[in-house]
């Protein structure tokens, strides 16, 4: 991806891009958080278990992230307007799928439609990073933090609205309205125009390679095209990084664990409160409290990183340590005030963690042209963790009748994240010190 700075007047449009990503993530994370409010309706109306309902809803999140490497690479390969096109298309797909989910009569149908909606939002999640990279080469951390806060605002606004929509229209009507609202993502994509310096079209040399470009109108044999495309995809996806960069592999395992906790907390925060006889409105408001913390978490990390107050890895360690404590204390939260405090701190750390994760993924890329692939793989492994986290927490409730066990398991994952990240950081610093001493000899 090109790194030329856009003309000075186009910096103002960069603010529009930040707002557009803000609004797209508002719908993505707000919709996902609203599934927690819809969870009991799924369980009782579709006559299914918490594990099955958790599986159906977590597939939405999983497909958002499973498709991330592919759509991240496609956004890069399609040129300067590639991300814009994918985001607009993703808004249409997610709208149709969410509306169809309202017609579900079994959890299998619900799982299919929510998976399709996840694919639609997968066209949104990673491609929205590309315009930020175009406009903010120096202040990416700050721009990423502000725009990522849209997800936190969605967590505050949509769950209580969903609770009201359920009261007035039932869960099917609420799902239909969430689907219609998803169309705003298409508008957000349309506003993400690239700077003029990125408007050049990609040539055949970028698709086929300089020596392989068609000449004199001679068509390629099908096998040659397939081989060339496979090679191009391998290069764009940066698959070799798993073999050449052990640090990259370590962090993908860490991001997988983060996905377990991310999915479990978002889906079962509200059901956990409902299982303790908290009223639906108050339980849904816990999601809003978590969303307030999420905004603060996503906002504060940008300045800390841009001004080198903390390294990305050290900040990641501190964030997940606090998150672990907020989850491990869940069995003690039998009264609403303590539930609200823990929801706030969990939301704050989860928001901060996601924003720092994007920065870590960016820094893990060997070259700037591989940034989108690195971000895509990060989301892929978080999605893999989500597939584990949602059903796992739901299954513990089906077996024990309590969500506390699932929250303790998520807290254990957070502690493991903290330990793994800290060990990797210390090992890297030790290696750098050894190299420094060697150069001084």
Q: What is the pLDDT of residues 239-279, one digit of tens each?
A: 666 677 778 888 889 999 998 888 888 888 888 998 888 88
Q: Are 158 and 31 in contact (CB under 8 A)?
A: yes
Question: How would residue 339 be classed by pLDDT, with cut points 50, 70 and 90?
Answer: very high
Quick check: 223 pLDDT over 60? no
CB proximity list for 212: less than 8 A, separation 6 or greater = 224, 228
Question: How would residue 133 be classed by pLDDT, with cut points 50, 70 and 90?
Answer: confident
- Mean pLDDT (the chain) is 81
Q: How far apart are CA 392 and CA 396, in angstroms?
A: 6
3-state secondary structure of 218: coil
Question: How would residue 119 be classed by pLDDT, with cut points 50, 70 and 90?
Answer: very high
Q: How far apart are CA 160 and CA 230, in angstroms?
A: 46
Question: How would residue 410 be classed by pLDDT, with cut points 50, 70 and 90?
Answer: very high
- Across the range 407-423, mean pLDDT stands at 93
pLDDT at position 195, please?
77
Q: What share of the chain is helix, strand, coil (3-state, %, to 5)?
A: 85, 0, 15
- Across the range 336-347, mean pLDDT stands at 93
Torsion from C-alpha of 231, 236, 240, 245, nearest 10 degrees: 170
Q: Are 379 and 129 in contact (CB under 8 A)?
A: no
For residue range 98-114, list pLDDT tens digits in order.
999 999 999 989 999 99
Query: Of 22-26, 35-39, 285-289, 429-433, which gets the smallest average pLDDT?
Result: 429-433
Residue 307: Cβ within 10 Å count: 10
pLDDT at position 441, please?
55
Distance of CA 330 to the CA centre of its chain: 24
CB proximity list for 179: less than 8 A, separation 6 or greater = 94, 95, 96, 97, 98, 99, 100, 101, 102, 117
Distance of CA 164 to the CA centre of its chain: 26
Beta strand ranges found along 349-412 (DSSP E):
none
**How many residues make up the chain in this entry?**
441
Question: How would residue 309 be classed by pLDDT, with cut points 50, 70 and 90?
Answer: confident
- Across the range 404-422, mean pLDDT stands at 93
Torsion from C-alpha of 241, 242, 247, 253, nearest 10 degrees: 140
Question: How would residue 51 be classed by pLDDT, with cut points 50, 70 and 90?
Answer: confident
Q: How far apart are CA 385 and CA 258, in angstroms?
A: 7
Q: How far apart are CA 176 and CA 157, in angstroms?
A: 17
pLDDT at position 369, please?
61
pTM summary value: 0.70
Highest mean pLDDT among 15-29, 303-317, 375-389: 15-29
Distance of CA 367 to the CA centre of its chain: 22
Q: Are 305 and 323 in contact (CB under 8 A)?
A: no
């Amino acid at each position: 991806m090109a790194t030329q700075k856009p003309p000075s007047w186009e910096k103002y449009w960069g603010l529009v891009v930040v707002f557009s990503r803000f609004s797209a993530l508002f719908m993505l994370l707000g919709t996902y958080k609203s599934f927690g409010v819809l969870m009991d309706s799924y369980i009782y109306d579709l006559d299914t278990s918490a594990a099955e309902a958790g599986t159906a809803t977590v597939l939405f999140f999983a497909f958002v992230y499973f498709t991330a490497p592919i759509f991240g690479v496609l956004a890069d390969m399609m040129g300067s307007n590639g991300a814009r096109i994918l985001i607009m298309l993703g808004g249409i797909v997610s709208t149709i799928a969410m509306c169809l989910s309202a017609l579900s009569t079994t959890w299998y149908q619900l799982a299919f439609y929510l998976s399709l909606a996840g694919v639609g939002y997968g066209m949104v999640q990673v491609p929205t990073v590309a315009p930020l990279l175009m406009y903010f080469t120096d202040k990416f951390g700050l721009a990423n933090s502000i725009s990522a806060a849209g997800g936190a605002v969605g967590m505050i606004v949509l769950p209580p609205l969903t609770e009201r929509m359920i009261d007035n229209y039932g869960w099917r009507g609420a799902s239909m309205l969430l689907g219609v609202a998803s169309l705003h993502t298409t508008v957000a994509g349309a506003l993400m125009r690239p700077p003029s310096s990125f408007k050049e079209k990609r040539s055949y040399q970028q698709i086929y390679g300089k020596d392989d470009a068609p000449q004199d109108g001679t068509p390629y044999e099908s096998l040659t095209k397939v081989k060339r495309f496979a090679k191009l995809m391998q290069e764009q996806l940066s698959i070799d990084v798993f073999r050449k960069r052990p640090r990259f592999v370590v962090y993908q395992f860490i991001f997988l664990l983060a996905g377990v906790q991310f999915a479990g907390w978002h889906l079962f925060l509200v059901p956990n409160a409902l299982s303790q006889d908290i009223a639906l409105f108050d339980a849904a408001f816990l999601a809003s409290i978590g969303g307030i913390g999420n905004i603060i978490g996503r906002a504060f990390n940008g300045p800390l990183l841009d001004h080198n107050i903390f390294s990305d890895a050290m900040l990641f360690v501190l964030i997940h340590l606090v998150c672990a404590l907020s989850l491990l204390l869940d069995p003690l939260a039998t009264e609403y005030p303590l539930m609200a405090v823990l929801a706030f701190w969990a939301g704050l750390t989860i928001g901060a963690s996601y924003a720092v994760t994007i920065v870590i993924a960016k820094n893990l890329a060997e070259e700037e042209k591989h940034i989108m692939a690195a971000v895509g793989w990060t989301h892929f492994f978080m999605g893999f963790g989500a597939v584990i986290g949602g059903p796992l927490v739901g299954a513990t409730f089906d077996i024990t009748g309590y969500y506390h066990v699932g929250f303790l398991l998520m807290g254990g994952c957070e502690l493991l994240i903290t330990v793994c990240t800290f060990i990797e950081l210390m090992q890297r610093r030790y290696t750098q010190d050894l190299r420094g001493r060697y150069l001084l000899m």
